Structure 1
Amino acid sequence: MLSENNRMTSLFTYPRAIMLLVAIVALATGMAPPAWLPAGTAWTTALAFVTIGLYATGLIAEAITSLVFFLGAMLLAVAPADVVFSGFSSTAFWIIFGGLILGMSIRHTGLGQAIADRLLMRLPGRYSGLIAATVGAGLLLAFLMPGAMGRMVLIVPIAVAVADRAGFDEGSNGRIAVVLAAIFGTHLGSFAILPSNTPNVVWSGAMESMHGIDIGYIDYLWWHFPVLGLVRSALLVVVLVYAFPDRPGIRSEARDAPAPLDRDQRQTALVLLVALGFWATDALHGIGPAWVALGAALYCLFNASRLVPAKPFAALDMGPLLLLAGILGVGSVIAHAGIGEAAFTQLLPILPLEPAANAINYAVISIGGTALAVLTAMPGVPAIGVPLGETLANATGWSVQSVLTILAASYSTYLLPYQAPPILIGAQLGQVPWGALTRFTLGFAVLSIVLVFPLHYLWLQWIGVLTG
């Protein structure tokens, strides 16, 4: 009887219960679509619900969820094939492909362990110091390298090597914390640095093209970096230390003076430095980060079996590539159908926005944008929100620039990992368990809304940004 109860319990775990509810909602949406949905998008919305639910719960492998989405999208004809499979033609796909090859080279040559040994001789010995130093390194990299995907490719293999050399076994709290410190440290802070990720660039471009407002690098940094960059990075350190308590156990070989780099390690390091140089200066030469990554990967592949295994494609993990293509495909299909914009437009008239209610206005816009991001890719928040600038300005009594500045808090705060492909890719490269990633992402988002959003509002008020 007990074993039967255990079997029934295993059949009705929380992920399965959530997916059952999602499936019911999706079926109801497809058969009886709400009036606000654009015509002909009912089954598109239903498929999006199911796909997002599978990504969010991790009930099946993320790569398989992508394949389920591709098959469902084509069978239901929810969008043209070039929209459904747009992820495969995106530059992000090729950044990740190049990054996987570079990560393979870092592991194959032992460069990651060599770098980790040198870092551990300089990093603090305390656990909190190690996490803080990793977050700080990620934040510094966000200033040097504009592409979030490229940063993940560069920093995560090194973070894994540091965790290994610090004595954190696979699946341990310390290993998860170090990898998450690298991932979130370089990604969260980048939202306060104008050219460092795609949503920022979308926001800036839309502000100029739609409202004629040209935002400068220093202005944007002044508005957001003190709170969304520094304060939130400090909060990240505290949460990681307390959510994943552990104690470093530096391996004996890591305490010894590291051996000089061998020829293959030096060659891989040179490839990485050249790639970093091109990534940091893309505004000068115009070569996109994806093609820098692909060029670096080709150099490594031409030097198999020295820089990569003799059969590199047999060792290549296709999971991250399928995951990214699926995530981008879902976002493209939702954008193509206009579902996110329709939902936001439907809610806008009932939002409690009014002049002089500054704190409420900030809360509604920032939290509303965070909720909108559940239905769109992260760049979808500025893409949908910026065109509504005049409407929001009239409702709040603020200027267009003032009201749209708040969106940075929204599109930098994601409730679930699937909303931010760089986070997903970093977690895949660092082999962070899906459950730990999801719990941390949601928990940190809630803390950001409760603790960081009010500080951001007060800061914008104090420096005079939230004005009419």
Structure 2
Amino acid sequence: MKHAKLITGIIGIVLGGIIAFLIPTPQGLSHAGMVVLASIVTANIFWIFNVLPSFITGLLMLCSWVLLGAVDFPTSFNIFSTTTMWIIIGGLALGTAATKTGLINRMALKIMSYLPANFRGQSLALMLAGTIISPMIPSAHPKAAMSTPIAEGISDALSYEPKGKGSSGLFMAAIWGFIVMEASFLSATAQNYAFKGLIPTKYQNVLTWGNWFLLMLPWTIIALVLGYWLLNFLFKPKNDQPVSKDFIHQKLEAMGPMSNQEKITAAVILVAIIFWILGSAIKLEAAITALIGVCILTATKVLTPADFKNRLSWDTIIFIGTVMALGNVMKTVGLTTWLYKILQPLINPILSNIWITVIVLPIVIYLCKFVVVSLISTGTLIVLCLLPFFSTMSFNPALLILIITASVNIWMLNYMDAPVITGQAAVQGKMVSKSGLAKSSLGYMVINILGLLLCVPVWTLMGLV
């Protein structure tokens, strides 16, 4: 429909206006709360139907709070001065350096060179390479765009038919390693920081880099082991005989010896990860570590001013910031307390027991993904709905962030996962079939819940349940 976005946008604005100014303010909620509620409804309609670029919608939402008197400017835009925003900026800059210098490509190809050149060996290589590389690049789209052409080259070298079982399986191995395994590490994607930033500071402090890794370790093992088994079960060709690794060796030879810029980048990222792990023990903010690393890379000319202008995804950074502002503002205007009273009968049973939560909440998220395409928007909506219940839960609410970040990444249908769309675009849609997407996503949905269930004993041992 030619004017669908315009019509949807008008509907969103009209609906927001009705909520803010025509519906009587319910008991227990202020007019400021109604304004914020109206802006959330309008913004989500805009995000779901892509009426405007996501970051523009987010900025308009924050501006509307100030213009309509819900909160003042410092409260509305406070998130942009927090450490969370700066760790996102610093982390994305580190990832930019790793991609620009070719370090990530070299690591992936090197890992592949050690394993047999057949489906079993190279699917495992792609999954392991992605898992190892994930914490270095906090952005899914560059990883999808970089990894899937490598998978395509391997598929061609193995003479797999486009969109056949072998080709589909290698594509999904790249997605599994480089995208799915992002849930294992706090620094693997900016959305992890975004979801973390939505919750109160006392719960954020639980989710340090090291704690996140330990809390998700059982999930990581299950996701890798069962994921590898699933992809081989679904996609392994009948005659899976090893062939020459010439493709991989040619790529490595074309890259030449490791450059000084690669070595500097590798050293900076390695030190940064070490300090992120030790952050709580040595009282060093993760943002400071990331920003010092960026300064070193800039001083050594690995990164240039042009890189900051052209390679950093500033629209994504701004969008994440506007989404993260919601939690604090909702609490300020009393919207969280009011929502608690409204949603209590529906949500209390889900949060009554951690075992029930790790089964039911992912299923709710899966269903939401059929409507709300954006991973960050889906996670944000879920967090905002659960935020009013944090004080009454029987387990630490920080665990909800782990459940959410592991559950939003599904790709049953083409439109449901933007990084998968990026990966398909990078290979001109020639690798994976629709049935291959659907089957692997369904398998992941089951594996994800199994992995989360196995995390519960670890969460209990760490005193969070």
User: 71, 88, 102: which one pairs with 1:96?
Assistant: 88
Tell me the equivalent position of 1:153: 138
Alignment of 1:374-393 (within 5 A): 376=380, 384-389=388-393
The one-letter code matched in structure 2 to 1:92 is T
Once residues 260 and 447 of structure 1 are traced to their aligned partners in structure 2, the CA distance between those partners, rounded to angstroms, is: 40
On the 8 A contact 2:108/2:130 being kept in 1, the answer is no
Contact 1:51 1:65 in 2 (8 A): yes
Structure 2 match to 1:50: 42
Gap change, CA 1:450 and 1:180, over 3 Å in 2:
closer
C-alpha distance in 2 between matches for 1:340 and 1:45: 10
Correspondences of 1:2-81 after superposition (within 5 Å): 9-12=1-4, 22-30=12-20, 31-32=22-23, 35=26, 38-40=29-31, 41-81=33-73
The alpha carbon displacement at 1:89 in A equals 1.1
Q: Take 1:207 and 1:72, find their aligned partners in 2: how far apart are those partners?
A: 27
Partner residue in 2 for 1:396: none
Q: Is contact 1:63-1:319 (8 Å) kept?
A: yes
Instruction: State the Cα distance separating 1:351 from its structure 2 match.
Output: 6.5
Contact 1:189 1:233 in 2 (8 A): no
**In the alignment, structure 1 residue 302 sits paired with structure 2 residue 293:** no
Relative to structure 2, which stretch is displaced further, 278-287 or 125-134? 125-134
State the match for 1:334 in structure 2: 330
| 8 Å Cα contact 1:176-1:432 kept in structure 2 | no
The two structures have a TM-score, normalised by structure 2, of 0.63
Please say if 1:284 is aligned against 2:288: no
Q: Which residue of 2 aligns with 1:6?
A: none
Matches within 5 A, 1:163-182: 163-167=148-152, 178=174, 181-182=177-178
Q: Report how far residue 161 of structure 1 moved.
A: 3.8
Contact 1:413–1:448 under 8 Å retained in 2: no
1:46-73 Cα offsets, whole Å, 9 max, x none, are: 1111222323333332232233223323
CA distance in 1 between counterparts of 2:278 and 2:269 reads 14
User: Where does the alignment leave 5 or more consecutive residues of structure 1 unmatched?
Assistant: 1-8, 143-149, 210-216, 390-399, 418-423
CA–CA separation in structure 1 for the residues paired with 2:440 and 2:228:
11
SS at match of 1:311: helix
Percent identity reads 16
Q: CA deviation at 1:283?
A: 2.6
Number of aligned residue pairs: 404
Runs of 5+ unmatched residues, structure 2: 155-162, 238-244, 369-376, 411-416
Deviates most, 356-365 or 15-24: 356-365
Q: Relative to 1, partners in 2 of residues 1:166 and 1:70: Cα closer, same or farther, differing over 3 Å? A: same
1:86–1:325 contact (8 Å) kept in structure 2:
no
CA drift of 1:291 comes to 1.0
> Structure 1 length normalisation: TM-score?
0.63
Distance 2:319 2:230 in 1: 27
Between the aligned partners of 1:416 and 1:17, the Cα distance in structure 2 is 29
**Alignment CA distance shift 1:274-1:208 (3 Å):** closer
Report deviation, 1:286: 1.7
Shift of 1:87: 2.9
Match for 1:28: what amino acid? I
Could you list the per-position Cα deviations for residues 367-403 of structure 1 after superposition, in whole angstroms to 9, with x for gaps in the alignment?
78998x96957765775333123xxxxxxxxxx45x9
Match of 1:347 in 2: 343
Task: Flag the 1:76–1:288 CA change in 2: closer, same or farther, 3 A.
Answer: same
Q: Matched residues in 2 for 1:239 and 1:123: separation?
A: 19
> How has the CA–CA distance of structure 1 residues 340 and 202 changed in structure 2, closer, same or farther, with 3 Å as cutoff?
closer
Superimposed CA distance per residue, residues 285-341 of structure 1 (whole angstroms, 9 cap, x where no aligned partner): 22111111111111111223xx12463343243222212222212343333333344
Deviations 1:417-443 (A, max 9, x none): 9xxxxxx9x959x7898xx9xx99999
Kindly indicate whether the alpha-carbon contact (under 8 Å) linking 2:227 and 2:447 is maintained by their aligned counterparts in 1. Answer: no
Residue 345 of structure 1: how far off its partner (Å): 2.2
Q: 1:187 to 1:168 in 2, by over 3 A?
A: farther
Aligned AA (1:254): K
Compared CA separation, residues 85 and 269, structure 1 to 2 (3 A)? same
How big is the shift at 1:413?
5.8
Contact 1:87/1:328 (<8 A) preserved: yes
Structure 2: distance between partners of 1:416 and 1:160: 17
Asked whether the 8 Å contact 2:390–2:397 carries over to 1, the reply is yes
> Is the 2:379–2:404 contact (alpha carbons within 8 Å) kept by the matching residues of 1?
no
- Higher mean alpha-carbon deviation, 282-291 vs 26-35, is at 26-35
Q: How far 1:121 sits from its partner (Å)?
A: 1.4
